[in-house]
Amino acid sequence: MSPGDGHVIRSEEAPEPPAWQETLWARVEPGVCIGSGICLATAPRHFEPSGHTHSRTRSDAPVADSAARDAADLCPVEAIRLVGTPPATGPVAPTSL
Ligand code: SF4
C-alpha cells in the first residue's frame, strides 16, 4: 500500500488505547516505600504523602494516564504496583501471630 492508493482509514480501524489505561489500579507497598518522593513529583494527581516516610495513592479509582506508570517505572525500590483489581475496601481482617 502506498499513499494515495485510495485506502481510507475509518475510525473503527483506529488503534484502541492501551488496555492498562482503563483497567489498572496503583498501589504503594508501605513496607517497601522509602519515601523518596519521586512518585509525588512524577504523578501528583495519583500519589500523596502518607506519614513522614511513605507515599500512598490519592484515590481508589483506576489510573487513566501514563503518569502513574512513569512513577512505577521511576520508583527506586519498585514499591508501586499497577494491578488489575481495585484495592480492597472495608475493614482489614485481624491476623494471628
Ligand atoms: S517513588 Fe517509590 S519509594 Fe519514592 S515515595 Fe513513591 S512509592 Fe515511595
Tens-place pLDDT, residues 77-90: 999 998 888 766 54
Which residues face 50 on adjacent strands? 54
Q: Measure 8 CA to ligand 1 centroid, in angstroms.
A: 46
Domain ranges of the chain: 19-83
pLDDT, one tens digit per residue, over 22-63 is: 578 899 998 999 999 999 999 999 999 998 889 999 988 888
pLDDT at 92 over 60: no
Host H or E run for residue 22: helix 20-23
Q: Measure 82 CA to ligand 1 centroid, in angstroms.
A: 13
- Architecture of the structural domain at 19-83: 2-Layer Sandwich (3.30)
Q: Measure 1 CA to ligand 1 centroid, in angstroms.
A: 47
Query: Which residue among 75, 78, 81, 82 has the greatest number of ligand 1 atoms within 8 angstroms of its CB, and so is best to mutate?
Result: 75
pTM above 0.75, yes or no: no
